[in-house]
Structure 1
Amino acid sequence: MDLRNWTAPETQTPENAQGSAVDARGSDWSQQDLGERDLSGALLCRCNLRGSDLSQCKLEGADLRLAVYDSSTKFPENFDHQNSGAVGPGAKLNGAFLNNADLRGVDLRKAVLMGAYLSGTDLSGAILDGTAMAGADLRHANLRGAMCRGTRFGTSQLDMADFRGADLEAAALDCVESIRGADFSLCRGLDQQLDTLLNREALELDQWNPLTRSSTRTSLESLKAKNGSGNQN
């Protein structure tokens, strides 16, 4: 390797990217029109592609694992981006290893994350509406302020998960494996499920969360008290 001509992957720009030798791992290519660039076999892992136009690019064999796209990203007509390992709306990420990934604010509407490994992952502010998460490992995950409307948590593990301020309207939490130490303070949309959640085992409800300095029971009861005071008004 000639270090005199070496460019750090995260600083790679689209202007200099052409051919299978492209290494743009972790780079920010958002809001770019990439034209007819040949990116066959390129390393685009963790690349930010939100709002970018890749519709005329050659992407055969490109590595897009953990690259982030959104609803305005354009891919070639015959390119199956939802099964490419990239993260975005409708992504098929069953069983994916996403432990400790930085997915803050990512749009994952109607994505499929069944059995995915998301322990320690930062999903704060993410859009998870309609996402399927049955069997996912969300232990110690950060979902502060996330939009989880209609999210199907199924048999997922939520131990120590931080849901503070999340919107859980119509989210399915009745069959989750465990909520031990999870914090639901300031959540919205849990009205119909509060009693069910508060009937779970004391081992789960009375677990102290050292990060949020609250127990699961305390966080849920705070929502019940808030709803009760609201009804009185």
Structure 2
Amino acid sequence: MTVLEDRDAADPEVLCAIAAGGQAGERVFRRCTFDEADLADVDLSGAVFEQCSLAGARLGGADLDGVHVVGGSFARADLTGAELSESRFTDVDLSQARFTGALLGEARFDGCRLVGADLTSLRGVVLTFSFDGSNLQLASLQDATLKGLRLTGVDLSDADLRGADLRDTVLVNCVLRGTDLSHTRLDRADLRGADLGELTADAPRDLAGAIISPSQAADVCGALGLTVIG
């Protein structure tokens, strides 16, 4: 095992650990700084990042399979097309990070901040990735495939879900206030555990196919100017 603490991306030992790739065994980086570093297409599979900063790092096409990130920041990081299968992010700031086309098979984001993140066209061989307890306000999930997932405690306020696939998805204690659901596929999506916020006259169209509660149905009727009695 290689453990490196309080280093930066220019440190010779750090460069050697990165160059060695997954063949080097477990690599642990603690309180290291990789801000704005060019790590595109690098093999970081299985690496552990504890309280590290990769703000603005370029990680497009990088192999991050099985990485474990605890705390720290990946804010504004470019993860376009990165391989993130079986990765785990815990309490990480991923605000405005770009995940366009990233492979997230079995990836987990627990209690992370993904405000304004670009998660368009997410892909996954196995659709079991999760965002439990994470903040995805203002995030873009256009055309993302979330089919059959269980989302718990996720704040999707003002997020863009246009064209996303949420068929059979279950939302528990989630927030959808101001979320753009235009052309979102919601067949059999269970929204009974979601806060839908203030609904508009477009709600019947945007929520077509979804499972909602009686109180939510009353809110939809209210948005249409109808009064439900009984």
Sort the TM-score into its range (normalised by shorter chain). 0.5 to 0.7
> Does 2:165 correspond to 1:162?
yes
C-alpha contact 1:125 1:144 (8 A) present in aligned 2: no
Superposed, which structure 2 residues align to 1:92-111 within 5 Å?
A: 92-111=93-112
TM-score (norm 1): 0.57
CA distance in 2, matches of 1:153, 1:121: 16
Counterpart for residue 11 of structure 1: none
Distance 1:197 1:181 in 2: 19
3-state SS of paired residue (1:19): helix
Give the match for residue 152 of structure 2: 149
**Secondary structure, in 3 states, of the residue corresponding to 1:169?**
strand
Shift of 1:54: 7.4
Q: Contact 2:189–2:209 (CA<8 Å) still a contact in 1?
A: no
Q: Deviations over 1:48-71 (max 9, x none)?
A: 32xx6678xxx99xx68463556x
Indicate the residue corresponding to 1:209 in structure 2. none
Report the alpha carbon displacement of residue 92 of structure 1 after superposing the two structures with TM. Answer: 1.2
Residue number among 205, 208, 218 corresponding to 1:218 in the alignment:
208
Match of 2:219 in 1: none
Determine if contact 1:142/1:163 at 8 Å carries over to the other structure.
Answer: yes
State yes or no: 1:82 paired with 2:72.
yes
Alpha carbons of 1:151 and 1:224: their partners in 2 closer, same or farther (altered >3 Å)? closer
Q: CA deviation at 1:168?
A: 0.7
Which one has the bigger helix percentage? 1
Aligned to 2:129: 126
Show structure 1 runs of 5+ residues with no match: 1-16, 207-215, 226-233
Match of 2:188 among 183, 186, 189: 186
Cα deviations by residue, 1:150-180 (Å, 9 ceiling, x for unpaired)? 100011111011112222111101221x100
Q: Which of 157, 169, 175 in structure 2 is aligned with 1:172? A: 175
Aligned-residue sequence identity (percent) comes to 14
Deviates more, 1:84-93 or 1:98-107: 84-93
Tell me how far apart the structure 1 counterparts of residues 128 and 148 of structure 2 sit (CA, whole Å): 5
Decide whether aligned partners of structure 1 residues 162 and 96 sit closer, same or farther in structure 2, where only a CA change above 3 A counts: same
One-letter identity of the residue aligned with 1:163: L
The separation in 2 between residues aligned to 1:197 and 1:28, in whole angstroms, is 50
Q: Specify whether residues 145 and 64 from structure 1 end up closer, same or farther in structure 2 by C-alpha distance, changes over 3 A only.
A: farther
Give the whole-Å Cα distance in 1 for the aligned partners of 2:44 and 2:204.
39
Which range is displaced more, 82-91 or 159-168? 82-91
Letter in 2 for 1:185: D
2:26 to 17, 28, 33: 33
1:108 aligned counterpart, secondary structure: strand
Q: CA RMSD in A?
A: 4.1
- Aligned-pair CA distance for 1:117: 1.0
Whether contact under 8 Å (1:114, 1:134) holds in the other structure is: yes
**In the superposition, relative to structure 1, how do residues 94 and 179 fare at CA in structure 2: closer, same or farther (>3 Å)?**
same
CA distance in 2, matches of 1:175, 1:42: 36
Q: Secondary structure at the match of 1:98?
A: coil
Q: 1:23 to 1:144 in 2, by over 3 A?
A: farther
Q: 1:205 to 1:28 in 2, by over 3 A?
A: farther
Cα-to-partner distance string for 1:101-132 (whole Å, 9 max, x where unaligned): 11122100111110111111126321111110
